[in-house]
Homo-oligomer: A and B are copies of this chain.
């Protein structure tokens, strides 16, 4: 008996995920499963053996993306200098940029509740620390930070190409407005 998938099946699974990112990035939710399959070099049947449905495939992409983000959140929480919040926001920017092409798709489904909760908790804790350390103004709240995160997402996933330099500049300006010292980061 096997423990996991046969080697070829595992390879195909990876190819399918990569093709799905590509195709969803190009066509959004309207992407056809046939297109994903052919782009991955397999038949549709193979896609369906691995992922129960189109929705399940999208959910898996979301799960993978959130998993990366959670790792970043842990890194930010490890900092003790009051700039963990700044780091987390930077991680958001990076993640949004990475998944930019198909991100709008992911955002339309409710994420894994546990992951979302963990991220919210990280934001709350890091905001508390930043206020305490004086790395943002006293009057900054969690709501301000989530609004910023949401706006950052909108900026990056919005219309055209947004370079890292663009969103970093945006983030810097906003953090300045939040009372962050110039020597942040």
Contact = CB atoms under 8 A, between A and B. Distances in A.
Interface of A: 28, 104, 107-108, 143-144, 147-148, 150-159, 162, 166-167, 169-170, 172-178
Contact of A177 (B143, B155, B158, B174): B174
- Tell me what chain A mostly uses at the interface: helix, strand, loop, or mixed: helix
B159 A144 contact: no
Contacts of A170: 144, 147-148, 151
Nearest to A173: B177
A154 B150 CA distance: 7
A155 B156 CA distance: 11
Contact of A155 (B151, B167, B169, B175): B151
B150 A155 contact: yes
Contacts of A151: 151-152, 154-155, 158, 170
Given A28-B108, A151-B152, 10 more contacts: A144-B170, A147-B170, A148-B170, A150-B162, A151-B151, A151-B155, A153-B158, A154-B154, A172-B177, A173-B177
Contact of A176 (B28, B154, B177): B177
B153 A169 contact: no
A137 B92 CA distance: 27
Contact of A173 (B104, B155, B174): B174
B166 A147 contact: yes
Top 8 nearest A-B pairs (CB, nearest first) are: A154-B154, A177-B177, A176-B177, A151-B151, A151-B155, A173-B177, A150-B158, A147-B170
